Amino acid sequence: MGLRPAVSEEQKLYARWLSVGARAGLAVLSACFLVYVLELLEPQVPLHELPALWAHPVEHFRTLTGAPAGWGWIALLGKGDYLSFVGIVMLGLVTLVCYARIVPALLKRGERLQAALAAAQVLVLLAAASGLLASPARADEVDLKRAQQIVSGRCFLCHGAQGESASELYPRLAGQNPVYMAKQLANFATGERKSTAMQPMAADLTPQERSALGLYFSRQKSEPHPAADAQLAAQGARLYADRCTACHGGRGHGSETLPRLAGQVASYLAAQLRSFGARSRTNDNAVMQGIAAQMTEQDIRAVAEYLSGLD
Amino acid sequence: MMRLAFLVAALAGASPAMAAGGAPVPWWVWPLALFAVTFVLGAVAVLAGVGGGVLFVPIVGAFFPFHLDFVRGAGLLLALSGALSAAPALLANGLASLRLAMPAALVGSVTSIVGALIGLALPTGAVYTALGITILAIALLMWRSRKSDHPDVPASDPLAAALRLHGVYHDPATGREVDWKVCRTPAALVAFAGVGLLAGLFGLGAGWANVPVFNLLMGAPLKLSVGTSGLVLSVIDTSAAWIYLHSGAVLPMLVAPSIIGVMLGAKIGVRLLSVAPAAKVRSTVLVLLVFAGGRALLKGLGIWA
């Protein structure tokens, strides 16, 4: 076998730097991910909440979680999820560094055209990495301003401008799960969920407006409302742990498609459980009618009391 | 392959049902499922001679509950990680040409940034529809594509001559030195612009397009085309990945298990290479692509949400 054809110096240089950079990036990413999933560092977005969030478009996800754009994640490096960005960014920077490294090597060899190509590539990668090329607003982005108009036009009278209902007759909407809420509005509009008060309110809302209202109320802070009857609440806690946590979660926060029950008005919760038990509530009834039918009036009051006191 | 088909079918059936009101699936199920699927994808991709990046977005986008924005962000990082890992050895052995890659990568990286910005601005339904059509077209291209080990290039075009896009590499399989040069460079750069746009739009790896452009259009030898394709892909996907990262469309919970899964899968795939029936695997991948592309198209059109 004769001598192998020579590989150019800049190609060897690129290969060496790439090899080190890629290995380091992958190793750091793997290590940081372990820290994240083992919860050695508290994440910005709790792990159990992720499945309710990652089905949303990125704009919506950012609004719901307060996730930063651009290089804003650096301020959150102490959080498990954002620590993993170090490895990801290393993988993103390795090509830029390799190109920057070969520019002087090419110039030294008098390869001006190739050096100009490499320098142009560095500029393109720098522009991408700078974060200056922000993505424009998505066409189906949720319009929170429109939601605010609707709330101040019709919702606030019963549910309060921030979703903290003034009366025990109406549910609190502050902190409610957005997708669940948008679905309820759709069900009110079609009559699938019966309410003479809500049907005309929801009838003319577009799907975008329903989503926007869901998002608006989900972003309002739910105020703590300690349970009025601690003994009844303690009884409700046992019942809740036994029958409800599998779907509604340990703290009554629900999920993307299931309602947040924590902090809800007790009388409203009790009324809904009675409606499910009597089969007069006809949406979201696949599981709830069976469960509520087995509950006594005392059970219903106890669970409602317990949930109303949760944060 | 049966395992992959079963898992995909199970996820396709299970995730909407769970979302519709059953008990919530614990968070850790998803990264594990992602790891399992990408592990199989990594092995299958090697056996079928395609990049894992082109399979990841349509399959995970169609059958997992993650929004397509995050799937595309993860798809880009997955494809570029594989390319970054493979490139040093190929470059050092001369089976990839940095000189050949540079103009293609420059053009493709600019358009991939544009593609990423467009993709993140378009309504989700439109992206699904376009992705479905693109994946079906890729499947057709892969089914019909020809390859040429050593295309005959009578003379370099003026641009290729100016950029000195020629060289010699050592083919370890034959033990011979292979001289190469290329032609039709301007047309190829236009093609790379299109490849970059699609990669940025859909978060796809671009090996399915880079190899035919280098090999069939420019006349580069097949082995050099495959090696250089990975290098171009790493630059194109890096540029688009930055846009997704800065827009918040990169979730470590999707990215890390997918990268680890596909890389370990690829190692197994290489070991299976000598025993697995490559033609059958390739046909199955094509069927899978058609299925996933069809699902994305129907999802985009609102027929199979």
- In this complex, the residue of B67, B177, B256 whose CB is nearest that of residue A84 is B256
With contact defined as beta carbons under 8 Å apart, do B113 and B243 qualify?
Answer: yes
CA–CA dist B9, B7 (Å, integer) = 5
Q: Are B80 and A91 in contact (CB < 8 Å)?
A: yes
Neighbouring C-beta atoms of residue A293, cutoff 10 Å = 12
Query: Is the confidence metric ipTM above 0.90 for this complex?
Result: no
Residue scoring higher pLDDT (A281 or A69): A281
Per-residue pLDDT of B217-255, as tens digits, reads 999 998 899 889 989 999 999 999 999 999 999 999 999
Average pLDDT of A238-253? 90
- The chain B residue lying nearest A122, using CA atoms, is B106
Inform me whether the pLDDT recorded for A1 exceeds 50: no
φ/ψ (deg, to 5) at B267:
-65, -40
Can you give the three-state secondary structure of chain B, one letter per residue?
A: CHHHHHHHHHHHHHHHHHHCCCCCCCCCHHHHHHHHHHHHHHHHHHHHCCCHHHHHHHHHHHHCCCCHHHHHHHHHHHHHHHHHHHHHHHHHHCCCCHHHHHHHHHHHHHHHHHHHHHHHHCCHHHHHHHHHHHHHHHHHHHHHCCCCCCCCCCCCCHHHHHCCCEEEEEECCCCEEEEEECCCHHHHHHHHHHHHHHHHHHCCCCHHHHHHHHHHHCCCCHHHHHHHHHHHHHHHHHHHHHHHHHCCCCCHHHHHHHHHHHHHHHHHHHHHCCCCCHHHHHHHHHHHHHHHHHHHHHHHCCCCC
Amino acid (1-letter code) at residue B219 = G
- Match domain A224-311 to its CATH number in 1.10.760.10, 2.40.30.70, 3.30.70.1290, 1.10.357.10: 1.10.760.10
Instruction: Flag if A91 and B81 touch (Cβ within 8 Å).
Output: yes
Mean of the pLDDT values across residues A139-150? 72
Residue B1 pLDDT level (bands cut at 50, 70, 90): very low
**CB B103: neighbour CB atoms within 10 A?**
23
Mean pLDDT of chain B: 86
Cα B250 from Cα B72, distance rounded (Å): 9
CATH superfamily label, A142-223:
Cytochrome c-like domain (1.10.760.10)
Minimum CA–CA partner of A57 in chain B = B67
At A64-90, the pLDDT tens digits run 777 888 888 898 999 999 999 999 999
Average pLDDT over residues B152-174: 89
Residue B67: name the closest of A241, A179, A108 by CA: A179
Torsion angle defined by CA atoms of residues A68, A72, A77 and A83, in that order, rounded to the nearest 10 degrees: 60
Lowest mean pLDDT among A37-46, A128-137, A138-147, B185-194: A138-147
Which of B29, B64, B102 would you mutate first to test chain A, the one with the most A CBs within 10 A? B102
3-state secondary structure of A307: helix
Query: In what helix (H) or strand (E) does residue A178 lie, and over which residues does it extend?
Result: helix A178-190
Distance from CA of B245 to the nearest CA of A (A): 7
The predicted model scores a pTM of 0.74
Residue B237 confidence (pLDDT): 93
Q: Which residue has the higher pLDDT, A60 or A19?
A: A19
Chain A CB contacts of B239 below 8 Å: 124-125, 128
Interchain CB distance below 8 Å, B253 and A246: no
By the 8 A CB rule, do B105 and B236 touch?
yes
Longest Cα–Cα distance of chain A, Å, equals: 92
The beta-carbon neighbor of B98 closest among A10, A70, A135 is: A10
Q: What residues does each domain of chain A span?
A: 9-130, 142-223, 224-311
Rg (CA), chain B: 19
Take residue A22 and report the two structure tokens written for it.
Answer: 């890629």
In Å, how far is A170's CA from the nearest CA of chain B? 24
Closest CA to B90 of B104, B79, B76, B101: B101
A-interface mutation test, from B247, B254, B262, most A Cβ less than 10 A away:
B247
pLDDT band at B151 (very low <50, low <70, confident <90, very high): confident
Q: Token pair of A264, please?
A: 């809800």
Q: Are B150 and B178 in contact (CB under 8 A)?
A: yes
Q: What is the pLDDT of residue A151?
A: 92
Domains A142-223 and A224-311 share a fold: yes
CA distance B48 to B286: 9
